[in-house]
Amino acid sequence: MPAAAATTTLDRTAYHGRTWMTRPRPGVDRMSAGWLIRRFIDPQAQFVFGDARNDSKAIPFDMFEAEFGHHGTQCTFETLCERFAIRDAAVQHIGRIVHDLDLKEATCREPEAPTVGRLVEGLRRAHAHDDALLRAGMDMFEALYRSMTSEIEPAPSGGASSRRKTAGRTRRRK
């Protein structure tokens, strides 16, 4: 079991413009964590898939013994929220959904969880390539987040096409 995560709040700006690495075939925790990283920590984040032992520059997440992974009863999404002090109410709601789905629990019992779980499985079946799968999952979590916020937010600067260009910066590393 990984060591307990440190409790010091991290400075988000120290993580800007970085490459983040996770395992292939993202599921609910990796999709939601990728969205959280891009939305709240590093808007220019790039994502790669592979083995952190072979890449000392990428920041591993949701990988065995990663700082940004499962710790105690927390999934990766919850660990990132804690480490970067993300306290947004809609993010916390999403975190409860992700927790139950990823840990196969019924602790939080959010009504959206079964639907989100089905959508994640559908995306995994629809996308053969990890970068497209992660991008589609991140778009799904952005839509879920927006559905939970009371304010109508404009699309990120440059509109959806600009976001897609940024979201497309994913690649596989071996």
Domain range for 53: 12-149
Q: Is residue 158 part of a domain?
A: no
Number of domains comprising the chain: 1
Tell whether the model's pLDDT for residue 173 goes beyond 90.
no
Q: Is residue 43 part of a domain?
A: yes
Of 89, 85, 75, nearest to 33 by C-alpha is 75
Q: Is residue 66 part of a domain?
A: yes
Of 87, 78, 82, nearest to 28 by C-alpha is 78
Dist. CA 20–CA 49, nearest whole Å: 9
Q: Is residue 161 part of a domain?
A: no
Q: Is residue 172 part of a domain?
A: no
pLDDT, tens only, 51-106: 766 667 899 999 988 899 999 999 999 999 999 999 999 999 999 999 999 999 88
